[in-house]
Amino acid sequence: MLTVDFINVGYGDAILIRDKAAPFTMLVDCGDITVGDGGPGSRRVSAANFLAEEGIDRLDLLVLTHLHRDHSGGLLQVLEQVSVRTFWTGYLPPEEVWGGRVEVPAHFSAGARCLLESMDIYLQALELLRERGTAIRPMRDSGESFQLTPRLRAEVYLEAESLHRRQAEIWRDVLEGCPDGAALDELDRFINNTSIRLRLDCGGKTVELPGDVYAACWERHRLSPCDIVKLPHHGHRDSMTPRLLEMLKPRYAVISVSNSRTDDCPSKTVLELLRRQGCPLFITDAACRPGLAEQAHRAVRFSVDGEGRIKQEYVH
């Protein structure tokens, strides 16, 4: 039995994948520092607490798609709960700065400060992973395939090499003690497209986990259909286009987003695209949107049995 849990961490991503026969457990992203206030009856839960509630104290693989705080902010909390055998990342700073701290100037923009806070958490986490003997592997080659278990394979894709180079330049200045607010604002605008995009083969069923890569970035490729797609960037308008949806033809779609957004997130345009495609949509939080059941749950779970059948349920 293979299971994929899209954890209700509020506005953020944390996805738990388990091959119980192997056994093998991996986590993709860790949510933010806090899950925020979901209101009365909320079932939001931090990634660390969800792992504890599921009895997990060891991860075979932890993947950090990119350094936005809603994906990386909960990293240290997760490491307090579990040991990690292997860690994948799209950006790895020099080892001599691991364990260091990053100053967060108060006059910088909110986006720049969040990036610096994320880096501060990341540096502490890297030192902890090193001390524990975790294999730390930066992902550099797009299209690599990894057979994780007999029934679980991961393909890794990276977009826009030029953005990865620019990200490294901006972080270099930060780590040398010369943070540039304007450059960090620039990074905040494009860092989503530095996400690791994972395509998982789970017992013959395909799951797309694109981090926050904007649709316009990966729709340029020739993509084969999938069974489950987690929409990137929490269902914002840039998360899906008709062209991308036509290529993927997902049987199910998931949006990881909080129920307390006051902007157009998830986007009405995106919701309409999915409706016209006839694709069932599941949202991690109890979001009140037309056509969606407003119910509180800790996670949206998909299971793939030995015959390749998919079952969807909520974890309450």
Residue pLDDT, tens place only, 250-284: 999 999 999 888 888 899 999 999 999 999 999 99
Instruction: Output the pTM of the full model.
Output: 0.97
Give the CA diameter of the chain: 57
pLDDT over 80 at 290, yes or no? no
pLDDT over 70 at 293, yes or no? no
Once rounded to an integer, what is the mean pLDDT over residues 79-108?
A: 97
CA angle, 12 then 149 then 230, to 5°: 25
Per DSSP, helices labelled H in 266-312 are 268-277
Per-chain mean pLDDT for the chain:
95
- pLDDT at site 41: 81
Once rounded to an integer, what is the mean pLDDT over residues 212-241?
A: 96
Task: Give percent above pLDDT 90 in the chain.
Answer: 91
Of the CA atoms within 13 Å of residue 76, those in its CB half-sphere come to: 15
Per DSSP, helices labelled H in 32-179 are 47-53, 69-72, 75-81, 110-132, 161-175
Q: How many C-beta neighbours within 10 Å does residue 312 have?
A: 15
